[in-house]
Structures are given as structure tokens and as C-alpha cells.
Amino acid sequence: MTEPTPFWKGKKVCVTGGRGFLGSRVMDRLDRLGAEAVSCSRRSGCDLKDLQQGLKFFRQHRPEIVVNCAAHQGGIAYQSRYPADTYYDNLLMGANTMEAARLAGVAKYVNIVAGCAYPGEPEGGRLREDQFEAGPMHPSVENYGMTKRAAVMQARCYARQHGFKGISVVLINLYGPGEHFHPDRSHALAALLKKFYDAKRSGAEKVVLWGSGRPVREWLFVEDAAEGILRAAERYEKPEPINVATGQGHTIAELAEMIREIIGYGGRIEYDASRPDGALRKTGEITRMQAELDWRPRTPIREGIRKTLAWLEAHYDQAVAAEG
Ligand SMILES: NC(=O)c1ccc[n+]([C@@H]2O[C@H](COP(=O)([O-])OP(=O)(O)OC[C@H]3O[C@@H](n4cnc5c(N)ncnc54)[C@H](OP(=O)(O)O)[C@@H]3O)[C@@H](O)[C@H]2O)c1
């Protein structure tokens, strides 16, 4: 069901943000599939906030497909400290990267959309593509989510007016090797993993977690995300969003127990119920993904956590640095 096809062999692909957490996994997979992949970001001399820089890069490299993994983002604390910067940068980057791709004659464009663009209180706890814009986003992430909704709208408008092929792949929560573990930049699973890892190293008696531990969330291993994105790039043609997700939820308490067991931490877990929980459940609907991509993520969560932990152990200083 998930065997690679010759589709990618020799294909010229540009991954914007191709050295970031997600982008580097997409680059690795393209490499294994025999594509000619190039990364585009400030490190390669291209600031995608600027239309002309993006256009110059695409005209020079002439990719057939662009996978847009470039973003200016961090965890919730980072978003709330820099709401204007993250809004402005991502809005410009999203709009100009797609426009540059269109002007450069790119045949297919893949928007990467974060799950925070979904309504903050989704009906039945399911993030369903047909309800993508059906309600307000959670206030803590609406600045970022709004730029992703704008990119989805841009793909629709470009399809209508220009016949441009832009698809939007929605990823909920990612984790995996190469994740950022600095408190400013880490997302929920990475933050939990670091908490337990540090507690074990320091011999702390307990780990205190925010909230009740009851909310249910889903977690997608980053290598599965890369596989799903390329599967969508190959097979999906419509401008309406498509989830690449596991569809399987775990409570924060279950996740914490799994991490504790894998790390071998013997202390207590305490929940600070005075901290907000957020929505009780948020998991991705995967009906569209299964029908359109004939694909499912393959990595069991325990295996993914073990691989992420092994990476954290081997790269601790790099992983917790603010940049990188
Ligand atoms: N991480 C998650 O848990 C998660 C979950 C769901 C969705 N996503 C989505 O996945 C995408 C990638 O996220 P990520 O976690 O991989 O982020 P990341 O590790 O921060 O990588 C983003 C990359 O974007 C590049 N970039 C930033 N500003 C740029 C600019 N002005 N011009 C050109 N390139 C720029 C950066 O490279 P340079 O510094 O070299 O410019 C960086 O490597 C985002 O759209 C995000 O919303 C992520």
C-alpha cells in the first residue's frame, strides 16, 4: 500500500525551509526516492518574505514541485511574545512563496498547514477538513493559524483564476528526531520528553505537568509526515485541505506515562489542574486521507518516542539551543 512509485525519480523539487525540522525529513525522503531536491531558505541566501528573492531562486533552480516547509514559528509562549512578527512574517512568506512559484511556472505547490488553523473547539473533537474554517481558532495561536488559513484561500483563488495547482496538507502535532527542545520553540511532546529527561538526569522527585492530563491529542512522527506530504504531492489535486494525521488520540496522562516508562524515570507525576486544559479532544479526521492517498502513518507512538529520545540524548546541547 505504501510502496514508492517512480513518480519522484529525477523530479526537480524545491523544499522551502528544507533544513528545518520537517523540511529536512522531506529532503531526506526525496533523496531516497531519487528526486533532485534543493532546499531554499535564508541559509541558502533566499528570504522568502521577499517575492523577488523567491522568484529568482525558483527561476534559477526550475523546480516542478515546491513543498513549502518554511515558517517563522515556535511554541505557544513564543507566539504570544511575538504575535506581530510571526503574523507578518508568515503572511508575507506564504503569499510570496506561492506567487513566486506561480510566476516561475511551478507545476504543483504544496502548502504545509498547521492544525492550529482549525477551530479551537472542533465539533466532536474531530478536526475535519470540511469544517476547516467553521469556527474561531484558539486565541493563543490565532495569529499563526490565520496566516495558514490565508494560504489555503490563496490556493483556492489561484486555482480559480490561474488554474494553478496548489494543495494544502494539514499536520496536527509533530514529533521526532531533529525537533527543537528549547522552551521557546518546542511543541508539546518535545516539551514533555525534555521535562522527564531533565528530571531523570537531576534526580528530581516529581514532574509537574500543566492541566488535568485528560485532554486527548494526536501525534504524528515526523518521518511519517514527510511520507504523507509526498504521497499527497503525488496524488492529491484539489485546493481543499487534506489532513495527514494518525487519527488516534492519547490523553496527556497516557503520553506522560509512556514517556516516563521509556525514559525510565522513577519519580511522581503531578498535575497542576489550575492551568487550562484547552479543548478536551483534538484528533484529525483521516477519511479523506485514506480515500485520496490510500495511505496511513506507519510508526507506532512508542517507537517514535524511543527514536526521538535517542536523538535528544545524542544531540542534547544542539537540541536545547534557541537557534538551529
Ligand atoms: N513542528 C511541528 O510540530 C509542526 C506541526 C504542524 C505543522 N507544522 C508546520 O510545518 C512547517 C515547518 O515547521 P518546522 O517545525 O519544520 O519549522 P522549523 O524547524 O522552524 O523550520 C522552518 C524553516 O523555515 C526557514 N525560514 C524561516 N524564515 C524564513 C524566511 N524568511 N525565508 C526563507 N526561509 C525561512 C528556516 O530556515 P532559515 O533559518 O535558513 O531561513 C527554517 O529552517 C510549518 O509550516 C509548520 O506550521 C509543524
The one catalytic residue among 78, 109, 118, 144: 144
Supply the pLDDT for residue 323. Answer: 59
Kindly state the cell numbers that stand for 254: 497516557
Please name which of 258, 263, 243 lies closest in space to residue 309, comparing C-alpha atoms. Answer: 263
List, for the chain, all residue ranges whose pLDDT scores fall below the cut of 70. 1-4, 322-324
Residues 6+ apart with CB under 8 A from 153: none
**Residue 306 counted as domain residue:** no
Which strand (E) or helix (H) includes residue 282?
A: strand 281-284
Question: How remote is the CA of residue 186 from the centroid of ligand 1, in Å?
Answer: 12
Residues 6 or more apart from 67 whose CB is under 8 A from it?
A: 13, 14, 15, 16, 23, 26, 110, 112, 229, 230, 233
Q: How do strand 216-217 and strand 250-251 relate by DSSP bridges?
A: antiparallel
With 0-12 / 13-18 / 19 or more C-beta atoms within 10 angstroms meaning exposed / middle / buried, residue 17 is buried
Residue among 18, 288, 12, 275 at smallest CA distance from 128:
288
56-114 pLDDT, tens digit each: 999 999 999 999 999 998 887 888 899 999 999 999 999 999 999 999 999 999 999 99
Q: Is 73 in the pocket of ligand 1 (CB under 6 A)?
A: yes
In a domain, 43, yes or no: yes
Q: How far apart are CA 111 and CA 152, in angstroms?
A: 8
Residue 22 CB–ligand 1 contact under 6 Å: yes
In a domain? residue 290:
yes
User: Is residue 202 in some structural domain?
Assistant: no
Cell numbers 478536551 correspond to 280
- Indicate which CATH number applies to the domain containing 100: 3.40.50.720
In a domain, 76, yes or no: yes
Residue 57 lies in a domain: yes
Question: What is the predicted pLDDT for the residue at 2?
Answer: 52
Q: Using the structure block, give the residue that is written with the C-alpha cell 538526569.
A: 201
Say what the pLDDT of residue 246 is. 98
Would you state the pLDDT for residue 184?
78
Ligand 1 atom with the smallest distance to the CA of 49 is: 31
H or E segment at 54?
helix 51-61
Q: How many CA atoms lie within 13 A of 270 on its CB side?
A: 9
Q: How many domains does the chain have?
A: 1
Q: What would the pLDDT profile of 308-318 be if each residue is shown by its tens digit?
A: 999 999 998 88
Q: Which atom of ligand 1 is nearest to the CA of 174?
A: 3
Residue 80 lies in a domain: yes
CB of 185 within 6 A of ligand 1: the answer is no
Range of the domain at 283: 11-179+218-248+279-298
How far does the centroid of ligand 1 lie from the alpha carbon of residue 174, in Å? 12
Nearest CA among 1, 95, 96 for reference residue 50:
96
For residue 208, report the phi and psi dihedrals to the nearest 5 degrees. -105, 125
Residue 241 DSSP label = -
pLDDT of 318 reads: 87
CA end-to-end distance (rounded Å), the chain = 35
Q: Which pTM was predicted? A: 0.96
Please give the Cα distance from 204 to 113 (Å, whole number): 38
Residue 205 lies in a domain: no
Q: Is 195 in the pocket of ligand 1 (CB under 6 A)?
A: no
Share of the chain above pLDDT 70, in %: 98
Which residue, among 267, 272, 301, 250, has the nearest Cα to 196 in the 3D structure? 267
Q: How much distance in Å is there from the Cα of 69 to the middle of ligand 1?
A: 5
**Cα(282) to centroid(ligand 1), Å:** 23
Q: How far, in Å, CA of 223 to CA of 289, rounded? A: 17
Is 265 annotated in the active site?
no
Q: Is any ligand 1 atom within 6 A of the Cβ of residue 41? A: yes
Q: If you measure from the C-alpha of residue 233 to the centroid of ligand 1, how many angstroms do you get, rounded to a whole number? A: 18
Q: Which residue shows C-alpha cell 484528533?
A: 283
